[in-house]
Structure 1
Amino acid sequence: MSQDKQLKVEHTAIPGLLVLHLPVHADQRGWFKENWQRQKMVSAGLPDFHPVQNNVSFNADLGTTRGLHAEPWDKYVSVLSGEIFGAWVDLRPGATFGTVFTVRMGPDQAVFVPRGVANAFQTLSDNTVYSYLVTAHWTEASRAEYSYVNLADPQLQIDWPINLDRAIVSQADRDHPYLNAAKPVQPKKVAVLGGNGQLGRAFAQLAKIDPRLVVLTRDDVDLQRSGFTDSLELSGYSHVINAAAMTAVDLAETRAGRAEAWQVNAVAVRQLAAACAEQGVTLVQLSTDYVFDGERDNVDEDEMICPLGVYGQSKAAGEQAVLAHAQNYVVRTSWVIGQGNNFVLTMLRLAEQGIDPKVVDDQIGRLTFASELASGIIHLINSGSSPGIYHLQGNGEPASWYQIARRVFELSGHDPARVQPTTTREYAFDKEFLAPRPKHSTFNMDKLRATGFASRPEADLLTQFLEVASEKSQYVTE
């Protein structure tokens, strides 16, 4: 055992499996170490993994061998006394399934074991004390998520220091399946709130190919209900994507609408963020261009928020509640188009009904298709991009609502000259409650692009959207 080394985190051939080299301070009396020190270890590169329980295994005899077990939680394993030979096998589906890593460990090392990686050890001395922190409490339901692989599987080629024929091994461990029959450990799930909205429906489509996604509606999680987080059980989830919101911007200017907007967009979001933080789950919060006053175009994530109306104010408050927890994301977007009630479908309906609309020409932005928005959010999760604020809107030239309406008419086979321009002031003339709108709703998306995500061209998406809406009547408008 080396002494007084620097704390160091070392990566291995198994993604996420980390070896920690721990400083040990020794003298004639014995030794001392910081076995777990959150601030220092996270700074050195360990995930901030929120352990909830510490277990200790005492092993009286040399050659005691336990494993290989993969549990549905993260573990931090270390040796308090003696020495072990540790072995790990990746049982997560993917290219690294079956990858093996081994190391001899004394008190001066520890290993972080991510969910789905099978863990085993063999004691190399008598009276060995083995400790492990875990990120979830064991329940009867969690047993079904366990997976195992046989210690003696020749495919793994684990070179046990003490032959397994002479080692102390339980019969259950000897009977575990070989790798070719081992059950892959599925990744944690991702909850999506607001399943009946345009973005929620886009996630429901993604869920057909991504089994992690669990799309929940207001019947499942109602942000207007007092104490809704009391029954929000998030064990087994890595992320919550909050696509639920009060988005009726004009109604939000009324007394009843103001109360609803603040409850759903701010108060409930603060409660949701606190519940996610308590359970170690990352929250992805959807926000809006309405947190800005729209006086500047092409704004980036560092632009000072300056909401004009109640809706924007409530969403800005929700942003701050989410960002109070360092692991969370805020994704700002604008002018969302998907399955549901939206501007493009309204213009299509007017075109087909022979109605010639007047549309405002002094609000400039970009359409954001819900399918691209959902894909971009999943990209942020999958790529492990740094938490914080991201701007995500359509990949197209800025245009006014009037210009977009003309495109909808033209692409659906109607005369675009039927659409007439108007101003926001003229549009608001006879309306009792009309929320102030940003003049510019265009974002700088360099930060998102730097993560490797690029949305498909808006023009192509609009054409495809209208073809589906016109020919198949697939998009609902209730």
Structure 2
Amino acid sequence: MSIEFSKPLTATETPIPGVVLFDLPVHGDNRGWFKENWQREKMLALGLPDFKPVQNNVSFNEKAGTTRGIHAEPWDKFISIASGKIFGAWVDLRMGPTFGRVFTTTLDPSQAIFIPRGVGNAFQTLEDDTSYTYLVNDHWSEDAQGRYTFLNLADETVAINWPIPLSCAELSDKDKLHPRLDDVAAMAPKKTLVLGANGQLGRALREVFKDDHSIEFCGRAEFDLNSAESYTSRIWSNYTAIINAAAYTAVDDAESKEGRRIAWATNVSAVARLARISIRHDLTFVNISSDYVFDGEQKLHTEEESFSPLGVYGQTKAAGDALVSVVPKHYIVRTSWVIGEGANFVRTMAVLAKRGIKPSVVNDQIGRLTFAEDIAAGIRHLIRTGAPYGTYNLTNAGTSESWAAVAAKVFQLVGEDGQGINGVSTEEYFRHKSAAPRPLNSTLDLGKITETGYSAVDSDVRMQNYLVPTD
């Protein structure tokens, strides 16, 4: 066998999306040859996904003409040849417009190829004593075989031109029985799991992702954050991301003995479990943070500000942020003053306005509203654009103002006089009441997420649409 020595490391895209062919530098002398078969840093620089292999497999094939496949496995593979030579054939068996697309080439020890999950893999040895090696990023198990997708080597539609006719080749009985392309069930894409899908943000996420069939929505009945079984009943390698829209948000109740226990269980212990799963299975983890992680002493909060929570709720959210921050692929979406479907401040003020009630409203807490639909849109933007991982402030745009000023605008939008709103201090409002401390300044700096191309909608515009919807 003749091997071309000292080729530069190069990567070449193929007709199948995600399938990348590599030329590998092989160094030889009178003793034989040496190559860097897998070099993570150099290959990432060429655009190979950081697919984090966990298992190395070797297939030894004694005779030329040995033919194996076509198997689409539920993990990614990096394939190379240790000795000999093969004819490789790959067929896209993933759902989508490239289903059935074929790529073939010969491989010797100076080449390698990356095959993403769901692309059918097959090869035929062209020399005796061929060793075929592959790295995979999930552990093989008996259960995993049930998640394979197969295609018959002799399928007439893809019409692979095998160098050695299949009638003369060595095949397994199982491979001979695989279905034709018309009968193949395409491999579905990995899913994104949305937790807390029945809450205010969860419902907004349902709407923003309504046309994406790879999203799995779970309320408490389908995934209870405080039940150990929820974390063990799924095959996490079938997922690519978790969006955690579930949280304990009863700010005042969190100060009680029972509320404190539930807040820490939901906002910290459950988040720790999700973080461990995300790290182990290389998932993107999206978690929602709050302005309550700050004491409100700063008039404008950036993502880099140190935690300084005043109450139990803020403490649990800060602890959750710290846990999520160690996940390599994470988005912490920090928001404030959330308005969504169901009971909320804007809706309450609108009802009071219609009833002719002039309420007392706090006038020394300053911030911006955030409508749940815009949080959902921001999350979708971060994921789909592949924005750099990290923490992002996300609220509506516009002028920072007090709750009392927001209430006055609500009154005006529903046709009532907002002048009668009684503005009071936080101290006065909660006098003789059991309440958690609040940050007085909750305005979040939007510069970082704006740099990713996201444009926040003005809160006045969103409130107008919320209270006075148009067809």
Please report the TM-score for the alignment, with normalisation by the length of structure 2. 0.86
Question: Residue 371 of structure 1 is aligned with which of 370, 373, 389?
Answer: 373
Structure 2 counterpart of 1:189, which letter? K
Residue 385 of structure 2 corresponds to residue 383 of structure 1: yes
Between 1:228-237 and 1:360-369, the stretch displaced more is 228-237
2:189 corresponds to which letter in structure 1?
A: P
In the alignment, which of 264, 274, 277 is matched to residue 276 of structure 2? Answer: 274
Q: Which runs of 5+ in 1 are unaligned?
A: 472-478
Amino acid at match of 2:402: S
Q: CA deviation at 1:439?
A: 0.9
Say which SS state the counterpart of residue 440 (structure 1) adopts. coil
Deviation of 1:95 after TM superposition, in Å, equals 4.5
Distance in structure 2 (CA, Å) of the matches to 1:361 and 1:393: 20
1:232 Cα deviation from its structure 2 partner: 5.5
Q: How many residues align?
A: 469
Instruction: Report the equivalent of 1:284.
Output: 286
Rounded to whole Å, the distance in 2 between the matches of 1:113 and 1:465 is 47
Decide whether aligned partners of structure 1 residues 21 and 266 sit closer, same or farther in structure 2, where only a CA change above 3 A counts: farther
* 1:61 alignment partner, one of 56, 60, 63: 63
Give the 5 Å matches for 1:7-406: 7-38=9-40, 41-42=43-44, 45-137=47-139, 142=144, 145-149=147-151, 151=153, 156=158, 160-162=162-164, 167-169=169-171, 182-206=184-208, 208-225=210-227, 229-231=231-233, 233-406=235-408
Alignment match, 1:461: 462
The alpha-carbon deviation at position 60 of structure 1 amounts to 2.6
CA distance in 1, matches of 2:301, 2:159: 55
Contact 2:82 2:132 in 1 (8 A): yes
Which position in structure 2 is the counterpart of 1:436? 438
Once the 2 structures are TM-superposed, how far is the Cα of residue 24 of structure 1 from its aligned partner? Answer: 3.4
Aligned pairs for 1:390-429 within 5 A? 390-429=392-431
Secondary structure of the residue that 2:259 maps to in structure 1?
A: helix
Deviation at 1:236, TM superposition (A): 0.9
Q: What is the letter of the counterpart of residue 447 of structure 1? A: K
Aligned pair in 2 of structure 1 residues 201, 129: CA closer, same or farther (>3 Å)?
Answer: same
Question: In structure 2, what residue type is equivalent to 1:19?
Answer: L
- Report if aligned partners of 1:295, 1:440 keep a CA contact under 8 Å in 2: no
Structure 2, unaligned runs of 5 or more: none
Further displaced range: 204-213 or 385-394: 204-213
Instruction: Return the offset for 1:239.
Output: 0.9
Return 197-206 or 295-304, whichever deviates more: 295-304
- Of 221-230 and 206-215, the range deviating more from structure 2: 221-230
Q: 1:372 to 1:157 in 2, by over 3 A?
A: farther
Q: What are the superposed Cα offsets for residues 7-64 of structure 1, whole Å, 9 maximum, x if unpaired? A: 5554444333233443434343333344345566446543332334333322233233
Letter in 1 for 2:278: C
Q: Secondary structure at the match of 1:241?
A: strand
Which letter maps to 2:205? F
Aligned to 1:451: 452
Measured at CA, do residues 75 and 297 of structure 1 come closer, stay the same or move farther in structure 2, by a change above 3 Å?
A: farther
- CA distance, structure 1, for counterparts of residue 112 and residue 142 of structure 2: 28
Q: Distance in 1 between matches of 2:125 and 2:314?
A: 60
Shift of residue 290 of structure 1? 2.0
Q: Which moved more, 1:153-162 or 1:235-244?
A: 153-162
- Residues of 2 paired with 1:433 and 1:158: CA distance? 71
TM-fit CA distance, 1:442: 2.6
Partner SS for 2:236: coil
Larger mean CA deviation between 115-124 and 412-421 belongs to 412-421
Among all aligned residue pairs of Structure 1 and Structure 2, give the percentage whose two residues are the same amino acid.
49
Distance, in Å, in 1 between the alignment partners of 2:428 and 2:59 is 75
Describe the shift of the 1:68–1:396 C-alpha distance in structure 2 as closer, same or farther (beyond 3 A).
farther
Q: Which amino acid aligns with 1:454?
A: S
- Which amino acid counterpart does residue 451 of structure 1 have in structure 2? T
Q: For the Cα contact (< 8 Å) 2:364–2:440, is it kept in 1?
A: no
CA–CA separation in structure 2 for the residues paired with 1:131 and 1:307: 53
Verify the 8 A CA contact 2:79 2:112 in the aligned structure 1: yes
Q: Are the aligned partners of 1:254 and 1:433 in contact in 2 as well (CA < 8 Å)?
A: no
Q: Structure 1 169/380 Cα, relative in aligned 2: closer, same or farther at 3 Å?
A: farther
* The 10-residue stretch of structure 1 (61-70 or 223-232) with the greater mean CA deviation from structure 2: 223-232
> Aligned-pair distance for 1:318?
1.3
1:317 CA displacement: 1.7
Does structure 1 retain, via aligned residues, the 8 Å contact 2:394–2:444?
no
3-state SS in 1 of match to 2:205: helix
Contact 1:289 1:438 in 2 (8 A): no
Residue equivalent to 1:476: none
1:307 alignment partner AA: P
Residue 323 (structure 1) shift: 1.4
Partners of 1:143 and 1:19 in 2: CA distance: 26
CA spacing shift, 1:166–1:442, aligned 2, 3 Å: same
Tell me the secondary structure at the aligned position of residue 441 of structure 1: coil
Aligned-residue offset at 1:188: 0.7
Deviations 1:228-266 (A, max 9, x none): 645554231111111222212222333443333333222
Measure, in 2, the Cα distance between the counterparts of 1:350 and 1:273. Answer: 42
The one-letter code matched in structure 1 to 2:92 is D
Distance change (3 Å), C-alpha of 1:282 and 1:410: same
In structure 2, how many angstroms separate the alpha carbons of the residues matched to 1:73 and 1:226? 26
Tell me, yes or no, if the aligned pair for 2:57 and 2:135 is still in contact at 8 Å: yes
